[in-house]
Chains A and B, each alone.
Chain A
Amino acid sequence: MTQTTDTAPEGPAMTGRSSTDEKTGTGHGRPRPPGRRRGPTTARARSWRDAPLRRITPWLFLAVPLALLITFTYVPVASMISYSFTDWDGVSPRRENVGFDNYVRIFTRPELFRVFFVSGYYLAASVVQIVVALYFAVILSFNLRFRNFFKGILFFPYLINGVAIGFVFLYFFQDGGTLDSVLAWLGVSTDHPWLGDPTSANVSLAGVSVWRFTGLNFVLFLGAIQSIPGELYEAAELDGAGKWKQFRHIIAPSIKPVISLSVILAISGSLSVFEIPYIMTGGATGTQTFVIQTVKLAFQFNKTGLASAAAVVLLLIILLVTWIQRRLVPDDKVDLV
Chain B
Amino acid sequence: MGNKKTTALSGAVLAGVMLALSACGGGGGGATGEVAAPPADPKEVSGEIKVLTQRTDLVQNGTLRRYAAEFNKTYPKVKVTFDGITDYEGEVKIRMNTREYGDVLFIPGAVAKNDYPTFFAPLGTTAELSKYRFSDKTEVDGKVYGIAQFGTANGFVYNKRLWERAGVTAWPKTTEEFLAGLEAVKEKTGATPYYTNFKDGWPLVQWTNNLGVVGCDAQAGNALAGAVSPWKPGSELNATDGLLYEIVKRGLSEKDPTTTNWETSKALLGEGRIATMMLGSWSITQMQDAAKRAGGSADDIGFMPFPVQKDGKHCAALVSDYQQAVSVHSHNKPAARAWVDWFTEKSGFAEKEGVVSAVKSAPMPATLKDFVDNDVTFFDRSEAKTAAVNDIDEAAEIGLNKQDYRQKLIDTARGVAKGSLDDFFADLDKRWDEAAKTAGS
Contact = CB atoms under 8 A, between A and B. Distances in A.
B234 interface: no
Contacts of A269: none
Interface in A198-254: 198, 201
Given A91-B96, A93-B115, A198-B416, A284 B27 contact: no
A78 B10 contact: no
A56 to B, nearest CB: 12
Contacts of B89: 299
B25 A300 contact: no
Given A90-B93, A91-B97, A196 B258 contact: yes
Contact of B199 (A82, A92, A282, A303): A282
A174 interface: yes
A92 B112 contact: yes
A177 B416 contact: no
B115 A92 contact: yes
Contacts of A170: 199, 259
Contact of A284 (B26, B198, B394): B198
Given A66-B13, A78-B17, A196-B416, A282 B27 contact: no
Interface string B64-98: 00000000000000000000000001100100110
Interface string A293-309: 00011011111000000
A300 B402 contact: yes
B399 A300 contact: yes
Interface string A260-294: 00000000000000000000011111100000000
A17 B201 CA distance: 50
Nearest to B109: A302
A74 B17 contact: yes
Interface in A162-183: 170, 173-175, 177
B28 A93 contact: yes
A125 interface: no
Interface residues of B, number: 45
A75 B397 contact: no
Interface residues of A, number: 40
Nearest to B114: A92
B29 interface: yes
Contact of B259 (A195, A283, A303): A195
Contacts of A282: 199, 201, 403, 407
B259 A177 contact: yes
Contacts of B22: 82
A195 B411 CA distance: 12
A93 B118 contact: yes
Contacts of A79: 21, 25
B404 A284 contact: yes
Contacts of A196: 256-258, 414, 416
B397 A301 contact: yes
Contacts of A301: 394, 397, 399
Interface of A: 17, 21, 58, 66, 70, 74-75, 78-79, 82, 89-94, 170, 173-175, 177, 193, 195-198, 201, 281-286, 296-297, 299-303
11 contacts: A89-B112, A90-B93, A92-B118, A93-B28, A93-B118, A94-B115, A193-B258, A195-B258, A196-B257, A285-B416, A301-B397
Given A58-B2, A92-B111, A170-B259, 13 more contacts: A17-B3, A66-B13, A78-B17, A91-B97, A91-B110, A93-B115, A94-B115, A174-B259, A282-B201, A284-B198, A284-B201, A285-B416, A300-B399
Q: Which 8 A-B pairs have the closest CB atoms?
A: A174-B259, A195-B258, A193-B256, A93-B27, A175-B256, A197-B416, A284-B407, A301-B394
